[in-house]
């Protein structure tokens, strides 16, 4: 079993259910957030590791979320979570905002989504 398979199967054992809130306004000045669905994400602290990062990527996030890709009835990849979505925990007061989203091994056909998360300022 390779690393991605391990993470993919372990996500089901360590997930929390979150609501997905997305900005429904026409521009960035409108901050109306609307619930657009639910998602199960495994959350952990960002582990310390030594590698080269590009500015604006994972170095600026506090938490890492892992999410299994979802597909529609035709087998097409369906995007569930986007950058800037807010994820309030259904069973508690914690609220996260998605800062980065990377597919592994790639974004076209991911085996797993890695989300860079920070605590959100608002509560829904």
Residue-wise pLDDT for 42-87, tens only, equals 888 776 554 445 554 555 678 889 998 888 888 888 888 999 999 9
CA proximity to 101, closest of 82, 76, 87: 82
In a domain, 51, yes or no: no
CA proximity to 101, closest of 57, 60, 37, 70: 57
The domain tally of the chain equals 1
In a domain, 53, yes or no: no
pLDDT at 32: 78
In a domain, 54, yes or no: no
DSSP 89: B
Cβ-count burial 28-48 (b if 16+ within 10 Å, e if not) = eeeeebeeeeebebbbeeeee
**In CATH, what number is assigned to the domain containing residue 95?**
2.40.10
In a domain, 100, yes or no: yes
Domain range enclosing 91:
3-46+59-119
In a domain, 97, yes or no: yes
Cα gap 74→25, rounded to integer Å:
30
Instruction: Read off the pLDDT of residues 12-48 as tens digits, 9 standing for 90 and up.
Output: 667 899 999 998 776 666 667 889 999 999 888 776 5
In a domain, 105, yes or no: yes
Could you tell me if 117 and 87 are in contact, meaning their C-beta atoms sit under 8 angstroms apart? yes
In a domain, 52, yes or no: no
């Amino acid at each position: 079993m390779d690393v991605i398979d391990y993470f993919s199967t372990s996500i089901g054992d360590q997930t929390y259910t979150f609501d997905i809130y997305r900005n429904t306004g026409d521009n960035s000045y409108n901050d109306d957030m609307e619930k657009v669905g639910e998602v199960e994400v495994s959350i952990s602290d960002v582990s310390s590791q030594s590698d080269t990062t590009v500015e604006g990527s994972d170095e600026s996030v506090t938490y890492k979320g892992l999410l299994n890709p979802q597909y529609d009835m035709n087998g097409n990849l369906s995007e569930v979570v986007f950058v800037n979505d807010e994820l309030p925990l259904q069973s508690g007061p914690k609220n996260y905002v998605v800062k980065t989203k990377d597919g592994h091994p790639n974004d076209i056909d991911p085996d797993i989504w890695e989300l860079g998360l920070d605590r959100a300022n608002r509560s829904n």
